[in-house]
Each structure stands twice: as structure tokens, then as C-alpha cells.
Structure 1
Amino acid sequence: MKPSLKENYFEHINHEWLKEAKIPEDRSSIGSFVEMDIKLEKLLKETINNWYKNPKSLPEDKFMHEYIKFYSMVIDNDKREELGWSPVRNFLSKIEEISSFKQLFELDRDFWMNYSDLPFDIDIFEDFIDNSKKILWISNSTSSILPAKETYADEKESNRLIEAWKKMVFDLLIDYGKTKDEASDLVSKAVEYDLFYKDFLLSSVEQANFVSLYNLQKRENISKFSSKYNLFKIVDSIFKQEVQEGSVVNINFFNNFDNIFDESRFESFKAHMFIFNLLSVSSHLSEKIRLKANEFKKALYSIDKSRSLEDFAFDKTNSYFGMPLGMYYARTFFGEEAKKDVEHMVWSMIDIYKKRLEANTWLSKETIKKAIQKLSKMEIMVGYPEIIRPYYSEFKVKTYEEGGNIFENVKKFSKIMGEYKLSLYLKSEDKRYWSMSPATINAYYSPLKNHIVFPAAILSWPFYSLDRSSSANYGGIGAVIAHEISHGFDNNGSQFDEKGSLNNWWTDQDREEFKSRTKAAIELFDGRETKYGKVNGTLTVSENIADLGGFACALESAALEKDYSIEEFFKSWATIWRSIYKEGAAKRRLETDVHSPAEIRANVILANSEEFAKFYDINENNKMYVAPEKRVKIW
């Protein structure tokens, strides 16, 4: 039965769609984003398939020529089956040769650059306080059986998932050539280590507190985390110089470093490391191996079926050539008229945001001035980037005919990308580079660059269309645009200045008031029931703040247009969030996703709106009601 719009606006507007929607067998959800992704994927796969079958039809684009070479290798399952495990046996055997942590910490640069699930991760990222340079970031390894610390907390669910993981890994180890006893022993030891190690992971809530991940420490302080192992022997060898400082993510992990990596735990750690490296290379091998290694993901997200060979070849190739393909897509299919129209909407909303800041009643003039300064320096990037990172030019595929294989190519690509990142140590990177392909149904705000990116692919129905009213567009892509602007002023973004550096530009009183309003935003969402669990208002607060500000700003912008229709705006807002999830996917999102579930996201933002309550005459007897004193207004 169709609910009243006063009881559940999301279900009322999307009733027919929700009734008819079917989740594809190889996916964990369906909704506006996924439908757009399927449509985009169909277009791109048809293009690629045509190139693959008719090489003469390839454009004069060197990147697309390498794309098709790699794609041709992945889709050739006969050759992949013939090679079996052979491309990775030497790689994996090197782990089996290690007999102690002492030996592991003595291994050379190549080993630490090529393997995963090592005792600690080394990365290059901006210095938050001085973002004109990139520095060392050191953290715990991110490999764990379950995707989040929260997933382990549900004993029944975690036991079910770990059993599924054990079965998958056992089958793979047997396929690799281990005896049943050897496979059982490896699996048992790996699980033992994982269940010990999980206690030292950061929770999803801790990871969502982006600013708290930055802990700049001098070399001598980082060295003190271990009295057993020389951490900087490895760090210096990787950077090829003496590193003087770095940001330490997860201090608790490093405070317990020598305990975690005590020699008594080496065999269980080694089993864990061997298995996770085996899993990381499984998709570079045969279809039989790839499908076996996908069984746990299916259990984790309630997916019925693995991706087909053609779909997998598309996914795999895009994981390395996705940016060049996105550039081809944007230049070929993205219209200039749409770009200009969206840019008009962006600047309209930045102007509205500025006016809303000028009229703000809870901030001091000093903080308002700084906020407007940040807003005025915000860069907007629509469609596709001017340039892409230089390492794509080095991606030269060695085909089967030339004696290559997928694993060796991937290893080479990873090395090229790794060395490029290391070359940026203590330097800045060109801000024109994007972190997202133009062929992506998404958008993002970077607090460290103070810029917003709107890839070409998201600028289509139901978010945007030149053929519908401006109000419908403002309720769709407009709300997304304003949402991204608002990220510059959420609980994380608000701590960075107009240059993208971590710098407190607030008065103490204003910051305290902001914290109070942030707490109200947490309470507005926290504990709301869904079919598969409750919403965590703390985990989702940054996205909820962006939604609250984005919705209000987009609505005010829509009202300035000649064809303004508040109802079309509300309907469009509810439509873009329509989606349904498989049980596993819904549970994982509640545990790990910084976004609120779609129905909650759509309805709570509407219920919080004074304009929505007035237009539909919502009162305290309706479920879509939030009392005026409980409504949250930040931006």
C-alpha cells in the first residue's frame, strides 16, 4: 500500500519504483546511482567491445591502445587457465621463506614495496598543517578478514562471515597445491592472528574523524614505538633518504607494536600475510581462481552471482586505465551546453551560500569574514580535468605474445604509481589532477585542495537534464553541488582554511556553538531504525551536515529561477536517493558508511525543512514531522 507523503515521503514518491525494482544478481543494491552506473557501463562496454573486435576502429589515443591490450589479456581466459597459478608462485614463495619478524624487518626495499599485509603501511599524503608538501604517513596494515571493527562486534554475524572466509580460503589453498592439513593449519593460524589483531584497528567512527588521523611526530618519537625493530631502516630505504618526521595514524596500534609483532606470534602472522597476498593476486589469474576468491565478497554483501568475464575484464582494466577512459568518455559524450548550465548552477549556489553566511545569526563577523574568504577561494571543476597524472604514459602493456601476463603487468603498474608517489615527498602536486575519473557517478570535495569536482558522468538524469525544470535540477544535481560546497564547512572540512591547510580560523565561541549544532545533527539521525539496524549519527555526521546545508542552499537557489516549483524540487530530492539493498550490503553500510541509508537521508532532511512542513501542512501527528525546536540549522 502506498504510504501518505506525510508519513513517508520517500516511499510515497518512489512507490512504483520500489515495487518494481530488482537488484541485479551481480550487485548488492539498485538505485539512482547504480542505474546510472549500469547505463554508463553499457555505453562504455559497447565502445570497448567494438575496439576489441575491430582494432582499426580504435581512436588515435595511445592510452586506449594500451587499454585494449590489457583488456584483451583479461578476457582471454584460455590463456589465463593455461597459466594457472604459475605467474605468482615465485612471488608467494618468498613469504614462505621468511622465518621470523627479525628476518622480515631486514628484507630489502623491493619486498616492502611489492607486498601487502605487512606489519605497517607506508604512504605519502599531504601535511595537513602545511599542505604545500607531501609527507610520510605511517599506519597499521589495513588487511583484516572483516571490513570494519564494528563487524566483529556482532558475534553471530562475524562467526558466520569468518566461516565463509575460511571455506573460501581453504578451497583456494587446495587449488594452489597445499595438502588439506597444510591448508587447515594456515587458515586456523590466520584467523587466530586476525581475531587478536582486530582489537588494535580503528573503528569506522574513528576513521571518519578525518582530522584526528593526523598526528605529526618527529623521527626520534616514531622510532620509540619499537625497541625490537628499526622502523626507519625500512622507511629510509623506501624513500631513499633519511626521513625526519611523519604522521602516525592509529597511535594505539604503534604503542602496542612490539606486543603485536612478538616472535611468538610470527607463524600466525605469516599465515595471515601469505593468505592476504594470495587473495590480492587471485584476480590476476584464471577465471576459476578469480571466481573462487570472490565467494567471501558474495557472502559479505549478499551478492548472488560474480561478475561475468566481460564485466570483470571491464572492471579490471578500469582499475588501471579508468582515468584515461574517463577522459575519452568526457571528450566524446559530454556536452558543452550541459557543462555551462551546471557551472551556472554552481556559481549561483556559491553566491547563495555567501548571502546565507552574511545573514548568519550565530557566527561572529570575524568568523563569517573568514568563511566567505574560504568560499571565494573554492575552485570548481566540472566535466573532466585539464591534465592527468604523468605515470599513465608509462603504462606499457606486455602482451602474452611478448611473454607477459596480467600479474607482471599489474606489478609493473603498481611500481610506477608507487615511485611516482614517493617522488612527491616534501613537494606539492599539481592541483589540477583529479582523484576521480570523469566516468564516475559521484562528486567530491577535497579539504586539502579546497576544490570541488563534478565528473561528467553524474551530470545526467535523474540528477540533471536540460529537458526538465530548473527546480527538478536543483533538487537533484543542485543539491549534490551544494552538498559538496557544504563539506568545506562540515565537522572535518571546517578545520581547514581557504588554502587547504589545517588552521583554526574560528573564534573560540563560534567553534563551541558549531560543536553544539553538530551534536544536534548527530541526535537528529542517531538511532533511527532501518530494516537491518540503527543509524549511527556520529559515523554519518559529516555527510548529514553536508546534506542539511546543501538542501537548504539548493532550495533557496531554485526559488530564484522563473520556473520555480517547490514541489518539483522536493520530488526530485526524494527521487535521487531511491535505492534498495541486499541484507549484507545494508548491514555493512550501517557499520562502515559515512552516509545515512537512502530512505533516512531523504526523509530526515525533508522533515527538518520548515518549507517542506509548510508546503505539505505537516504537523505533530505526522511521521514526517520534526518539531521546530528540534530542527537543525547550521549553514
Structure 2
Amino acid sequence: MKKLIAVRGGSGNIIEPKVGTRPQDNMYLAVNSEWLEKTEIPSDRSRMASFDGIDVNVEKHLMADFADFAAGKKDIPNVPNMAKAVELYKLAKDFTKRNEDGAAPIKPDLELLTGIRDFSDYNLNAPDLATFASIPFGLSVEPDMKNTKVNVLNFAGPGTFLPDTTTYETSDAAKLLAILQKQSVKLLEMAGIETADAEKYAADAIKFDAKLAKVVKSAEEWADYPACYNPMKIADFEAKFKDFKIAYYLKEVIGEEPDRIIVEEPRYLDHINEIINKSNFDEIKGWMIVNFINDAASDLSQEFREAAFPFSQALSGQPELQSGEKQAYHIANGAFSEVVGVYYGQTYFGADAKKDVEDMIHRMLAVYEERLQNNTWLSEATRKQAIVKLEALELKIGYPDKIEEIYDRLQVIPASQGGSLYSNGRAFAVEEQKYNIEQLHKEVDRTIWAMPGNLVNACYDPQRNDLTFPAAILQAPFYDLKQDRATNFGGIGSVIAHEVSHAFDNNGAQFDEFGNMTNWWTDADYAEFKKRTQAEIDIFDGIEYGPVKLNGKQIVSENIADQGGLTAAVEAAKNEGDDLKKLFENFARIWANKQLTESIKTQTAVDVHAPGPERANVQIQCQDDFYDVFNVKPTDGMWLDPDKRVHIW
């Protein structure tokens, strides 16, 4: 899994807008009610938020550019591999060919899957199957948490059909799984599978998924990054497997048996023989086939796309399927994300804006260092180490100077040479797997960017101790060169400090300035930090948000970052004599969000971010300056008693 901590999270608006609401009673509604009343969620989306508003514009610009490149109305820019992205876009947009082909592109792979005879056959073919189908575990090469100069092999369990293990405990679970089962049968029939066989595959898949859901990690558990680090000697790891020939699998897929492996899901490994065994063969086979047909359908005809939509629609509430043209752009953008991001940054991100944002980042870092210097609950030893880590932060702003090597390796085979959208995607997956495995014996490349330039987001990577601010987020309402500084502090300033705060949240605090998982705290300081972290958990835990209750533990890292981000932004604005009223207003504005009920359920099941209204209101309630600026009284809705306000960074 990518151990990245991003600013963007899903949230919903289930608070009725009320124009004229006083900031003292509900800051979020005071700022956003008019926007909430006027904003409509597009029919091919399940929400609209400040992030999404920017994303819609980015999407609009890039879709128009891709259409012009494909039609020859614009020259393809001299960005490495951009021509490949355009060629893939053409393939994806050619629905005449996609509709004519029907299921033909996937037939050979589907026949391989359905042709697996027994568990021995499965053992023999698993390494090849893993290049295009789901296997009930995953291997990946990532930086070693305790020595981030080197890469190491990681092991984890698979995902479940429903968004999270907790979703299986809800009243919606049976209905959602029934939709998936019915959808899978239809897709398999469309691909030429006999009805009786399709029904058995789908039923077996649901049974196997139920077994997985009992032992894989929940979103709350995944939110604890250090708990993912469980090194094992390879001999001890292999001894855990009985029926499945893991040593053979490793040699075939990786080319060797490494000395050790990092187990990200120890519980899953402990139960591995209950999951992967001869008795479960039919269920494993059905699960692989159902995963395959549902994943592959989006690369086929319009008929397949429509048949694969009901389950996604049930999870998100999205009224309509995305148009074919829009899908074509997103496929090209997904496969060549960094390439498209560089093009976007070079074309739409100005040098003046980058310079101004860099200046603001350094101002926020200076404020953060000052706050650490003046911290009253850290000892001098811990405070010094925190400042060392802060000063070691690497900054990535806008878009990268070089494009990662993997994009050079991806080759697009056009339809004229026998290529299909599916065959190209399959070849990409094989090359990406090979590239990832090759990193096992290479030093970690710290220049790699975690996010492309056209993504409306930002992140902190604890294992590289770096901050990434893509070009796309560096615009209104987060940032505008023409906005006053206070408004920018409430937007991008708080986002910058949010990402800095991740270096010192419940996960980041356990990594040093090199990204190594090392304890740099005194025992007394860490005990106080855990006490304050618990207060952050408690203040959000159990908040009712429409159909759900928030899990304070699951969202604590992002809430710590929000708290530190807003606090530092307020401090920076005060230092410059800026208008704090505008700062608080824009902080509330950047979390404006409308979302469909089904999507709220899905998002909150897996997201480590609090919903937008709560991110705005609860964090503002914890800022002492807010009460002075808006003259908030104990009788007002936004009042929070001083002893209940959470202060960490």
C-alpha cells in the first residue's frame, strides 16, 4: 500500500444550508450555505466539493486538449511519452472498434481462468495468472520503514468486494452483494459463459469474499502505518503456507527468494491456510473470475460498461455512467498520470504563482519551527529532534523536473497493429509489476513524486519525509495570486501546514528526518503526545453525520494535521497582521461539499479524513482566536468550552 498522507478526503453535505446563518452558530453554513443551495452534483459524479470544482475545470481543459491532439488540431507537446498517452486516448475513444470487438479481447485470459482444473493446476499457474488476475494476496516492493535507503518486499492480503470489513456488518451488505452477484452473472454470460457456470462462479466468489472479510484489515487498522511493519525471515514466512506453493510462486514472480519479507497483515498470514487451500479451490476460482470480469468490463464495449455499472452505482449513488469520451481521457490520464501532470503544469501553472507559493511554504515552515521552539509540553531533547526533522523536509511543488522511467517502458499498440484497450492495459500491468520488482535491489529513488501535477491534492510521505503540492491545487479557493494573503493563509497556507503536521501526527511522529521508523521522543513526551492524540480521537468519535457515525480512531491522523495546519496558518497571519476573519472564512470555504447519501456511507467506511463540515467547524472551534475575532459567547452554537478544545501543534 502507498503510505501517503493526503489532504484530500471525501465528505458530504447532509447539513441543510441556511443562508444568513451566523458564524458564531455554524461557521461552515455561514460561509457555504449559498454555495450549497446553488451547486448541483453532476450526473456522472457522486459529490461536488471545493476540490471537485477545481477538478472539473482541470478535466475540462485537459479533455479539450486531448480531443485536439487526437484530431490533429493541436500539435502534441514535446513532453516525453505524451504521444503515447494520446494514442491510448484514441484507442479508448474508438467505441466503434470497442463495440465491434465485444468480449473478444478478454476471451484468451478468461479461458485460462475458467480452464484451471484443480488446486494443483492453480498452484502451477498462479504466477502467470497474477499478471492479469487477482490472487488472494499481494506482493509489492517499497522502501524499508527502518532503513529507507533500501527497498524491501512486502506482503498483504487482498481487498474485499465491499468498501471495508465494517461494511459487512451494516444492513446494506446483503443488498450490495446481491447486486454484485447479479451483475457478475450477466457480465459472464455476455462473455460467453453458460448461465449455470456463471451463477456458480458468482456464488462461490461471494462465499470466498465472506471468508476474506473476517481476517483482512479494516480501514481503521490500515490507518496505523507502523503496525504494517512486521519483518520475517523468508523461511519462516514460507513455513506459514501448507497447500499453496509459495516458494515456487516467489521464484517465478520475483526470480528469487529474498532473505526477508515485511508482513503488512500478520492476522491474514496467520489465517492463510484457512483461505488458500484445496477445499476452497472452487471459491478461489470463482472469486478470481468475478474479479476479472468486473475489472475488465470497463475496457470493453459500451454494453459491457453499462452492465458493470450497477454495483458502482449502488456504492456511490452516482446517477449516470461517465460518458465514453470522458472515460477515454481518464484512461489515458490514469496510465500516463505523471506525463499528463507535467504537461498540465507546464501549460497551466505560472512561474509567478510557483514563486509566491514557494514563499508561502517557507513562511509556514518558519512559523512551524517557531512554534516548535516555543512549545510548552515538549522537552528540549524532543523539541530539537522535531526541528531537525522539520528542516530536513524535501519540497516538491507543481510538477517534477523528470518523468519516472516506467513511462518510457510502456508501449501503446494501436488497433491497426492488433492492439485493444484491454490488451494494452494488460501489457502495462505486466511491465509495471516487473518494474516494481526490479526496485528490490536498487536504492530508493527519493526524487519520485507521489502525485501528478494535475491532481487536486497534496501529501506528505513519511518514508521520504517530503511534501508534494501538485500544480492543480494551487488555485482558488485554496490559492490565488490576486487573493489577499489572509485568504490564502486560510486556504493553501492551512493545507501546507496540514501536510507539515503529518510529519508529527500519530504515524509521522514515529519516523525520523530520514523517513526511518525510529523513536526520537522521550518517554514522558510521547506519553503526553498520546494523551493529546486521544483527545483528538475523542472530540470526533461518534459524531453523527447523516447515516453514519464517525470513527475517531480511523480519522485521527488527518484531524491532527488539520489542527496543526489551521493553528500554524492563524499564527502566520497574526505575524503579518492579516485579517483573521478572512482566514477563518476561507478555511471553512475550502471544505464546502455536497455528496450523495450512498457515497457518504462508502466514503466514511474507508476514508481517514473527517467530513468537510466537521473538518471546518470542529477545528475552528478549537482555535482560541476564533472566539475573539467573532465574539463567540457560551450561548452560541460554535462555543466549545476551553478545556474541551484540542491543542497539539
What secondary structure sits across from 2:493 in the alignment? helix
Which residue of 1 is the match for residue 9 of structure 2? none
1:152 pairs, out of 168, 177, 183, with 168
Kept in 2: contact 1:470–1:561 (CA 8 A): no
Cα deviation digits, residues 221-278 of structure 1 (max 9, x gap): 2122123333122112222123110111211111111122232221122111111011
1:187 pairs, out of 182, 185, 202, with 202
Which residue of 1 is the match for residue 608 of structure 2? 594
The reply to whether residue 623 of structure 1 matches residue 626 of structure 2 is: no
Which residue of 1 is the match for residue 85 of structure 2? 67
**Structure 1 counterpart of 2:445, one-letter code:** D
What secondary structure sits across from 2:156 in the alignment? strand
**Structure 1 counterpart of 2:163, one-letter code:** P
> What is the CA–CA distance in structure 2 between the aligned matches of 1:219 and 1:503, rounded to whole Å?
24
Cα deviation digits, residues 181-211 of structure 1 (max 9, x gap): 2222222221122122210111110011111
**Structure 1 counterpart of 2:110, one-letter code:** L
Which residue of 2 is the match for residue 512 of structure 1? 527
Change (3 A) 1:54 1:424: same
Change (3 A) 1:459 1:17: same
The reply to whether residue 94 of structure 1 matches residue 112 of structure 2 is: yes
The reply to whether residue 174 of structure 1 matches residue 192 of structure 2 is: no
1:59 shift after superposition: 2.4
Which residue of 1 is the match for residue 599 of structure 2? 585
**Structure 2 counterpart of 1:264, one-letter code:** S
**Structure 1 counterpart of 2:234, one-letter code:** R
1:449 shift after superposition: 0.5
Kept in 2: contact 1:134–1:425 (CA 8 A): yes
The reply to whether residue 572 of structure 1 matches residue 586 of structure 2 is: yes
The reply to whether residue 284 of structure 1 matches residue 302 of structure 2 is: no
The reply to whether residue 436 of structure 1 matches residue 451 of structure 2 is: yes
The reply to whether residue 7 of structure 1 matches residue 25 of structure 2 is: yes
1:498 pairs, out of 513, 527, 547, with 513
2:553 pairs, out of 535, 538, 544, with 538
Which residue of 1 is the match for residue 6 of structure 2? none
Gaps of 5+ in 2: 1-17
**Structure 2 counterpart of 1:147, one-letter code:** P
Which residue of 1 is the match for residue 143 of structure 2? 126
Which residue of 2 is the match for residue 474 of structure 1? 489
Kept in 2: contact 1:168–1:296 (CA 8 A): yes
Kept in 2: contact 1:386–1:432 (CA 8 A): no
The reply to whether residue 106 of structure 1 matches residue 121 of structure 2 is: no
What secondary structure sits across from 1:177 in the alignment? coil
2:259 pairs, out of 237, 240, 244, with 244
Cα deviation digits, residues 35-70 of structure 1 (max 9, x gap): 000011111111111111126622234522111111
2:154 pairs, out of 118, 137, 141, with 137
The reply to whether residue 365 of structure 1 matches residue 383 of structure 2 is: no
1:427 shift after superposition: 2.4
Kept in 2: contact 1:236–1:243 (CA 8 A): no
**Structure 2 counterpart of 1:21, one-letter code:** T
The reply to whether residue 29 of structure 1 matches residue 43 of structure 2 is: no
1:133 shift after superposition: 0.8
Aligned 1:278-357 pairs, distance under 5 A: 278-357=293-372
The reply to whether residue 227 of structure 1 matches residue 245 of structure 2 is: no
**Structure 1 counterpart of 2:376, one-letter code:** T
Change (3 A) 1:305 1:56: closer
Kept in 1: contact 2:345–2:471 (CA 8 A): yes
Kept in 2: contact 1:132–1:427 (CA 8 A): no
**Structure 1 counterpart of 2:604, one-letter code:** L
What secondary structure sits across from 1:422 in the alignment? helix
Deviates more, 1:476-485 or 1:156-165: 156-165
* Greater relative CO, 1 or 2 (CA 8 Å, sep 6+): 2
Which residue of 1 is the match for residue 10 of structure 2? none
Kept in 2: contact 1:345–1:478 (CA 8 A): yes
> What is the CA–CA distance in structure 2 between the aligned matches of 1:503 and 1:102, rounded to whole Å?
44
> What is the CA–CA distance in structure 2 between the aligned matches of 1:426 and 1:99, rounded to whole Å?
36
> What is the CA–CA distance in structure 2 between the aligned matches of 1:401 and 1:312, rounded to whole Å?
21
Kept in 1: contact 2:454–2:471 (CA 8 A): yes
Cα deviation digits, residues 468-522 of structure 1 (max 9, x gap): 1100000000000000000000000110000011110011111111111100010
Kept in 1: contact 2:395–2:466 (CA 8 A): yes
1:116 shift after superposition: 3.1
> What is the CA–CA distance in structure 2 between the aligned matches of 1:387 and 1:62, rounded to whole Å?
9
> What is the CA–CA distance in structure 2 between the aligned matches of 1:507 and 1:276, rounded to whole Å?
48
Change (3 A) 1:387 1:425: same
**Structure 1 counterpart of 2:82, one-letter code:** M
**Structure 1 counterpart of 2:44, one-letter code:** D
Kept in 1: contact 2:489–2:583 (CA 8 A): yes
Cα deviation digits, residues 66-107 of structure 1 (max 9, x gap): 111111111110111111111111111111122233322222
* TM-score for both structures, normalised by structure 2: 0.95
> What is the CA–CA distance in structure 2 between the aligned matches of 1:227 and 1:193, rounded to whole Å?
18
Kept in 1: contact 2:68–2:74 (CA 8 A): no
Cα deviation digits, residues 288-346 of structure 1 (max 9, x gap): 11221122111111010010011000111111112111101111211111111111111
Aligned 1:359-438 pairs, distance under 5 A: 359-438=374-453
Cα deviation digits, residues 448-480 of structure 1 (max 9, x gap): 000000000100011011111100000000000
> What is the CA–CA distance in structure 2 between the aligned matches of 1:273 and 1:10, rounded to whole Å?
45
> What is the CA–CA distance in structure 2 between the aligned matches of 1:238 and 1:171, rounded to whole Å?
33
> What is the CA–CA distance in structure 1 between the aligned matches of 2:297 and 2:435, rounded to whole Å?
25
1:619 shift after superposition: 2.6
Kept in 1: contact 2:244–2:276 (CA 8 A): no
**Structure 2 counterpart of 1:152, one-letter code:** Y
Q: Could you list the structure 1 runs, at least 4 aligned residues long, displaced by more than 4 angstroms after superposition.
A: none
Kept in 2: contact 1:388–1:434 (CA 8 A): no
> What is the CA–CA distance in structure 1 between the aligned matches of 2:538 and 2:96, rounded to whole Å?
56
1:388 shift after superposition: 1.7
What secondary structure sits across from 1:418 in the alignment? helix
Which residue of 1 is the match for residue 3 of structure 2? none
* TM-score for both structures, normalised by structure 1: 0.97
> What is the CA–CA distance in structure 2 between the aligned matches of 1:432 and 1:623, rounded to whole Å?
47
**Structure 2 counterpart of 1:229, one-letter code:** F
> What is the CA–CA distance in structure 2 between the aligned matches of 1:206 and 1:286, rounded to whole Å?
38
1:197 pairs, out of 202, 212, 216, with 212
**Structure 2 counterpart of 1:276, one-letter code:** N
> What is the CA–CA distance in structure 2 between the aligned matches of 1:340 and 1:458, rounded to whole Å?
15
> What is the CA–CA distance in structure 2 between the aligned matches of 1:452 and 1:609, rounded to whole Å?
25
> What is the CA–CA distance in structure 2 between the aligned matches of 1:108 and 1:520, rounded to whole Å?
47
> What is the CA–CA distance in structure 2 between the aligned matches of 1:258 and 1:527, rounded to whole Å?
37
1:523 shift after superposition: 0.7
